[in-house]
Structure 1
Amino acid sequence: MSEQQNLTYAQELLKAESGDVRSLRPFEKYLVGIIATGWAVFQMALAGGAFILDGTKTRAFHLAFAIALLFLLTPLMRKARKGMEYFFVTDRIPLMDYALAVIAVIASLYIVIDYDGLAYRAGMPITRDIAFGVVLVVVLLEAARRVIGPALSIIAIVFTVYAFLGPYMPDFLAFKGVSLRKYCSNISLSTEGIYGIPLGVSASIVYLFVLLGALLDKAGAGQFFTDLALSFLGKYKGGPAKAAVVASGATGLVSGSSIANIVTTGPFTIPLMKKVGYPAKKAAAVEVASSTDGQLMPPIMGAAAFIIAEYVNVPYIEVVKAAAIPAFASYFGLFCITHLEASKLGISGLAKHEVPVFFQTLKGGLHYLLPLGVLLYELIILRHSPEMAAFRAILILFVVIFYQELRRSFKAGTGIGQGFMDSIRIIGMGMIQGSKNMMPVALACAAAGIIVGVVNMGIGGMVAQIVETLSQGNIYLLLLITAIASLLLGMGLPTTATYIVMASLTAPIIVQVGGNFGFVLPLIAAHLFCFYFGILADDTPPVGLAAYAASAIADSDPIPTGIQGFKYDIRTSVIAFLFVFNPDLLLWEITSWPQAIMIFVMALIAMSAFECFAQNWCLIKNKWYDIPFFLAASFTLFHPGGVAHRFGVGEEYKYYFFLLGLAIYAIPVFMQSMRKRNLVEAA
């Protein structure tokens, strides 16, 4: 395929991820546009205090918007099949989907329509309540199946069936069971299930951050981040790959989707990586790894940061603080990978004339940094709520868009009126795209709420007992089971849904079993562990859609690309295991800036040592006797407390092992520098 065809295929994957696969007729485009824009205006007005709405009602309206858009945009079947063409209509909206959209909206809003009656009948629903509750579950599972595949719906059905058939199960799986009345009361008619914490966070916070990302993208910020990274790094060894890492990390600040990251930065960085000498597979894998890890970067973290804050019951800024060092260490590790790969392949940077001028590029897009600066200032300095910070950043971005377009129209001589209309068009497109991007997140949170609700009805204790029995009470085996389960589950689910399911089932058990082994594990470490392995599923073969998107742009085979990307992401799994046993990496209970900086520096050096081992290269190719030094240095710097314990040294002296770690790291570097000099002299 040609480059344009490859890019088109990658963009189609992005559309499929958001469920936007139909080519609509003009009046249908207006209908979808009105609903999508209405959703954005509703969320903005709510955040801005234009009106005050009860939390349950907010969640219901949020779900109604998402589910209506889904049925209007996504056909029942993902592929055309002979004799069933009506169920794969992509050139219009069929009558069936109009009907489903109306039914789904009414079912979603039933909790609003009869709000007082349901409150009065809490726990004792009448036949009408049960009927609407069952309809809501059915249409929600169908909506989730359409937009994110069958996995989440199947898991929700399995949990539901188990809830009803529990009394008839074998002894070790036996459960007292639930009635249809209790099931509907918990799942459909209260905030214990569908309208639970995940959907609440999606409605109150996540939408605004996704909208901010969509508006930035439509305004041109994605191109700016890519150009800025190239202007700064393009001339160095393996420059385009390093630029891809930085650009994807910057895009990941406001994007919750790895595929969106790839489609934004990949068309520019992947061809440049191939041009300087990276094989297509490795060029695509670098983009996959960097875009996937964009979900690690605060402030959004694939929408999970806000849900983690609610589940762990800590301020959002504490989640950002905990996620910061692991995220930067992971990105630094990928940066090291690109450098080591370039060294192995003898790749240099781009020619001077191919690199954008840094200050000129920065000047041309400096205004894009203003809303991000406001966002971080509001969150970190003023400590405002995430929704308020995002709302004010969006308002600043509106001003930036008007400034940008009016300035362009003035320069082009097309008049202020044209600039004003262009600004309105960009804002409208951003709102529509933000709503489309939000669909899978909102529906995943709502559908995962079914599973969480069933777990909270008593099954959670049973599942916890089964998992603990499987792990035989061993914390290491439990973490391994959780990691493998997250990878397998994540092959069919978006990251946020994988995290919600796994954290609900295993996070408390990890803390409990860790305590049995004498490890003081903060709950946030267990939650981040589940989240990290949910992210890794995005490039896990054979399903990883991120690998398919990047391989389409690079014109490489998707399975080898996914395998290579997964190899690059081993560093992320290592960090996840390490911060469970060394909560210092999460800055847990650490308030000293010098101590935090020390941990950060040690983590970066430890990651570089680990990558020298993983890539089998430092200054030159490793010898077998180099490897133990790299591993020892990495472990010592990542977990000095563990090394101090081995030597019988008190915890208060553990940071003195920083010097030991550096000394161990210096040994193979010195040996390789001597071997490299001998090779040069021999040549």
Structure 2
Amino acid sequence: MADNEKIKYLTEAEQQELLEKYDPEAGTRKLTGVLGHIAFFGLLAFSLFQLYTAIFGVFTAQIQRTIHLGFALSLVFLLFPANRKKRQKGKFQIAWYDIILAILSIGVGAYWPLFFEDIVMNVGRLGVLDFAVGFMAILLVLEATRRAVGLPIMVIAILFIFYGIFGQYMPGFLAHRGLTLERLVQTMFFSTEGILGTPLAVSSTFIFLFLLFGSFLVRTGVGQYFNDLSTAIAGRRIGGPAKVAIFSSALQGTISGSSVANVVTSGAFTIPMMKNLGYKKEFAGAVEAAASTGGQLMPPVMGAAAFLMVEFIGNGITYWDIAKAAAIPAILYFSGIWIMTHFEAKRLGLRGLTQEEMPSKKEVFGKLYLLIPILAIILLLMMNITVTHAALYSIAISVLVGFINKDVRMKFIDIIYALVDGARTALAVAAATAAAGIIVGIVTKTGLGLKLANGLIDLSGGYLIPTLMLTMVAALILGMGSPTTANYVITSTIAAPAIILLGVPDLSAHLFVFYFGIIADITPPVALAAFAAAGVAGGEPIKTGIESSKLAIAAFIIPYIFVLSPQMLMIDTTWMEVAWVVLTAMAGMIAIGAGVIGYWMRGMNWLERVLAIIVGLLLIYPETVSDIIGISAFIVLLALQYLWKNDNHDSSKILENGQSIEKN
């Protein structure tokens, strides 16, 4: 494509269409009139309730969580139609049964607050009304999850319910006594082990506040600024737009809880630039998909899963411990994508952006203050300020920054809209965590987690590496089509116990399944982020998914490394050891990137590519002997690349993929 050809970017309508196609959370009804006002003020009230409890203290667990659930379910039924196809065709008329479901949801949300003392006094004995409300709560959660999150997680939850009820008919080690319907309802809604369990607890406190923080950040204009800053920093480099995509997606990941949303919002800007420069459609889409998915792995927010991890792991672990542990793997992940796009650009002879295509650096760097809220939340968490207070202070700082930014000048009405948008974003998360609570409740009551763990260990013969491989496959399957929060809850409940039983530290095990659950977003056949990127790029979805998986190869390697050697997670180590781990791992990613792409300083034949990947693996594994061997081999490979590059400098042919081909 000619350099001066006008780049065609996606319109806002086209972006929204793609979001609705691949991300169920994105498409809501466009209500008007009385119902529009009810939904608007309902969302506003939801945010105000959460802010009130964050400032003045939460209510009793069951009351806090059921009010949160009642808000979320009722608003889901008002805003998300039952038939997704009608939503895509623009038919937004609300059905009569949706109003009934919304009213029933309000009743479910009010039941615990109204009858708290009676329920507690009954000590698990359910009356007719109790049973009806609890059973209704289960059905409402399942339907709301289907609408707002998608079919996969609802199907998984239903399968677990059937497993709980019909356990006596299960084969082998999966068999259990089975739960009566009354016991199921009691567990799901009248205890803190089911719907009202830990996932919803975290949603009703920490996660909501951070989603609200992200909503306020968007109002400050930081979303567009991420693109401008990324372009200013990386745009002039070789293959500039691809590096802009990586940098921008890493920044977007600090406030985004969705890989697909990240792909469409930043990809609408970066993918057309990559195509214009000369990258193939599939590769351009793959860069954005891999980078956007990596945004969920990027501290400090990590798609809100970090807050769940604190509660699930326990043992005195703090949020900062998790953010710190996830830092080096996330840096290596994005470095791997950056390195491979660099080698691909060199292989194709692609340039960076011209000076005319670049934004004014003076203007861009003059707005660095827009990053203050993000830096503030990191510093506040480092100072061991509670997560709740860190989020509240950061929201206040975001308002101040939005007021200072002359391009937006945040007003009172913008604050109101930020509150409404934050609550709207939280609806799918609340539904997903409630459904995840059903899964956790069944696992707890039936002992399924331990049974599956023992089953995986038996299948692997009790060896760690085969167990890790089986756990990886389980996490990839369970993570398909699920949002980040529900994804982590499911994989950590079902897959993590197996490797913990083999002596792996809890944090390493949880991050292991978290990584592979997230990477399911770009792993065919159900690679929603890759498919969305293919929609932006106009490429073939499966090919885009395959390219994405190649670019994200670090995510398939690094979890094994930090399980085998927890120093990478900064567990029981020194800063000198951490610096050495980062240095050698970065060199390893260079070697692996060259091997995967087939180019370093020149084209590489298949033997060189295999050797480069092996050398990279030796360098990434943080162990003295492997480091010494890896460094020695790396220096030899680098020298050979340099010498052979110079020997062939004046030649018209180079050796690439084992064949002599004419230079372009």
- Is TM (by shorter chain) over 0.5? yes
Once residues 604 and 11 of structure 2 are traced to their aligned partners in structure 1, the CA distance between those partners, rounded to angstroms, is 37
Structure 2 residue 67 is the aligned partner of structure 1 residue 61: yes
**8 Å contact kept, 2:66–2:108:** no
Deviation at 1:242, TM superposition (A): 0.7
Deviation at 1:623, TM superposition (A): 2.6
**8 Å contact kept, 2:568–2:622:** no
Deviation at 1:7, TM superposition (A): 5.6
Once residues 505 and 175 of structure 2 are traced to their aligned partners in structure 1, the CA distance between those partners, rounded to angstroms, is 31
Change (3 A) 1:547 1:10: farther
Residue in 2 that maps onto 1:536: 519
Residue in 2 that maps onto 1:486: 475
Once residues 440 and 416 of structure 2 are traced to their aligned partners in structure 1, the CA distance between those partners, rounded to angstroms, is 35
Once residues 471 and 179 of structure 1 are traced to their aligned partners in structure 2, the CA distance between those partners, rounded to angstroms, is 34
Change (3 A) 1:108 1:479: farther
Residue in 1 that maps onto 2:273: 272
Once residues 69 and 89 of structure 2 are traced to their aligned partners in structure 1, the CA distance between those partners, rounded to angstroms, is 24
Residue in 2 that maps onto 1:674: 643
- 1:77 maps to amino acid: N
Deviation at 1:144, TM superposition (A): 0.7
Structure 2 residue 11 is the aligned partner of structure 1 residue 10: no
Residue in 1 that maps onto 2:658: none
Once residues 5 and 394 of structure 1 are traced to their aligned partners in structure 2, the CA distance between those partners, rounded to angstroms, is 31
Once residues 499 and 439 of structure 1 are traced to their aligned partners in structure 2, the CA distance between those partners, rounded to angstroms, is 18
Once residues 596 and 236 of structure 1 are traced to their aligned partners in structure 2, the CA distance between those partners, rounded to angstroms, is 29
Once residues 428 and 58 of structure 2 are traced to their aligned partners in structure 1, the CA distance between those partners, rounded to angstroms, is 26
Change (3 A) 1:482 1:171: closer
Which stretch has the larger CA shift, 461-470 or 550-559? 461-470
- 2:293 maps to amino acid: T
Q: 2:50 aligns with which of 33, 43, 48?
A: 43
**8 Å contact kept, 1:230–1:355:** yes
Change (3 A) 1:676 1:385: same
Secondary structure of the corresponding residue to residue 626 of structure 1: helix
Once residues 477 and 77 of structure 1 are traced to their aligned partners in structure 2, the CA distance between those partners, rounded to angstroms, is 42
Q: 1:374 aligns with which of 354, 363, 376?
A: 376
Deviation at 1:327, TM superposition (A): 0.4
Residue in 1 that maps onto 2:110: 109
Deviation at 1:76, TM superposition (A): 1.0
Which stretch has the larger CA shift, 609-618 or 15-24? 15-24
Secondary structure of the corresponding residue to residue 618 of structure 2: helix
Select the structure that is richer in helix.
Answer: 1
Residue in 2 that maps onto 1:663: 632
Structure 2 residue 552 is the aligned partner of structure 1 residue 569: yes
**8 Å contact kept, 2:480–2:520:** yes
Could you say what the CA RMSD is over the residues aligned between the two structures, in angstroms?
2.2
Residue in 2 that maps onto 1:423: 411
Once residues 569 and 408 of structure 1 are traced to their aligned partners in structure 2, the CA distance between those partners, rounded to angstroms, is 36
1:95-494 aligned at under 5 Å gives the runs: 95-313=96-314, 314-363=317-366, 365-380=367-382, 382-404=383-405, 407=406, 423-460=411-448, 461-494=450-483
Question: TM-score, normalized by length of structure 2?
Answer: 0.92
Once residues 129 and 166 of structure 1 are traced to their aligned partners in structure 2, the CA distance between those partners, rounded to angstroms, is 24
Q: 2:498 aligns with which of 495, 498, 509?
A: 509
Residue in 2 that maps onto 1:518: none
Deviation at 1:52, TM superposition (A): 4.2
**8 Å contact kept, 1:10–1:552:** no
Once residues 651 and 89 of structure 2 are traced to their aligned partners in structure 1, the CA distance between those partners, rounded to angstroms, is 67
Change (3 A) 1:628 1:153: closer
**8 Å contact kept, 1:325–1:603:** no
Deviation at 1:40, TM superposition (A): 1.6
**8 Å contact kept, 1:609–1:630:** yes
- 1:61 maps to amino acid: I
Once residues 168 and 676 of structure 1 are traced to their aligned partners in structure 2, the CA distance between those partners, rounded to angstroms, is 67
Deviation at 1:295, TM superposition (A): 0.3
- 2:643 maps to amino acid: M
Residue in 2 that maps onto 1:21: 28
Instruction: Give 5+ residue unaligned stretches, structure 1.
Output: 410-418, 516-520, 645-656
**8 Å contact kept, 1:9–1:552:** no
Structure 2 residue 558 is the aligned partner of structure 1 residue 589: no
**8 Å contact kept, 1:299–1:320:** yes
Secondary structure of the corresponding residue to residue 385 of structure 2: coil
Residue in 2 that maps onto 1:651: none
Q: Percent identity?
A: 35
Deviation at 1:9, TM superposition (A): 3.8
Structure 2 residue 36 is the aligned partner of structure 1 residue 33: no
Once residues 192 and 122 of structure 1 are traced to their aligned partners in structure 2, the CA distance between those partners, rounded to angstroms, is 15
- 2:97 maps to amino acid: M
- 1:538 maps to amino acid: D
Change (3 A) 1:632 1:20: closer
Deviation at 1:375, TM superposition (A): 0.8
Secondary structure of the corresponding residue to residue 682 of structure 1: coil
Deviation at 1:367, TM superposition (A): 2.7
- 1:29 maps to amino acid: G
Structure 2 residue 627 is the aligned partner of structure 1 residue 607: no
**8 Å contact kept, 2:481–2:528:** no
Deviation at 1:96, TM superposition (A): 1.0
Q: 1:499 aligns with which of 467, 471, 488?
A: 488
Aligned pairs, how many?
A: 641
Instruction: Give 5+ residue unaligned stretches, structure 2.
Output: 1-6, 653-664
Deviation at 1:571, TM superposition (A): 1.8
- 1:371 maps to amino acid: P
- 2:285 maps to amino acid: A
Change (3 A) 1:117 1:3: farther
Once residues 531 and 254 of structure 1 are traced to their aligned partners in structure 2, the CA distance between those partners, rounded to angstroms, is 18
Q: 1:291-327 deviations in whole A, cap 9, x for unaligned? A: 0100000111111111111111111111111101000
Deviation at 1:597, TM superposition (A): 2.0
Change (3 A) 1:195 1:128: same
Secondary structure of the corresponding residue to residue 342 of structure 2: helix
**8 Å contact kept, 1:77–1:88:** no
Once residues 632 and 537 of structure 1 are traced to their aligned partners in structure 2, the CA distance between those partners, rounded to angstroms, is 25
Deviation at 1:408, TM superposition (A): 5.0
Once residues 377 and 171 of structure 1 are traced to their aligned partners in structure 2, the CA distance between those partners, rounded to angstroms, is 51
Once residues 47 and 36 of structure 2 are traced to their aligned partners in structure 1, the CA distance between those partners, rounded to angstroms, is 16
Change (3 A) 1:628 1:168: closer
Which stretch has the larger CA shift, 620-629 or 660-669? 620-629
Deviation at 1:57, TM superposition (A): 1.9
Change (3 A) 1:89 1:634: closer
Q: 1:633 aligns with which of 591, 603, 615?
A: 615
Once residues 183 and 93 of structure 2 are traced to their aligned partners in structure 1, the CA distance between those partners, rounded to angstroms, is 40
Residue in 2 that maps onto 1:557: 540
Structure 2 residue 75 is the aligned partner of structure 1 residue 75: no
Residue in 2 that maps onto 1:652: none
Secondary structure of the corresponding residue to residue 495 of structure 2: helix
Q: 1:373-399 deviations in whole A, cap 9, x for unaligned? A: 21111011x211122111100011112
Deviation at 1:5, TM superposition (A): 6.2
Deviation at 1:605, TM superposition (A): 1.8
Residue in 2 that maps onto 1:647: none
Residue in 2 that maps onto 1:414: none
Change (3 A) 1:599 1:396: same
Deviation at 1:3, TM superposition (A): 5.0
Deviation at 1:11, TM superposition (A): 2.0
- 2:125 maps to amino acid: M
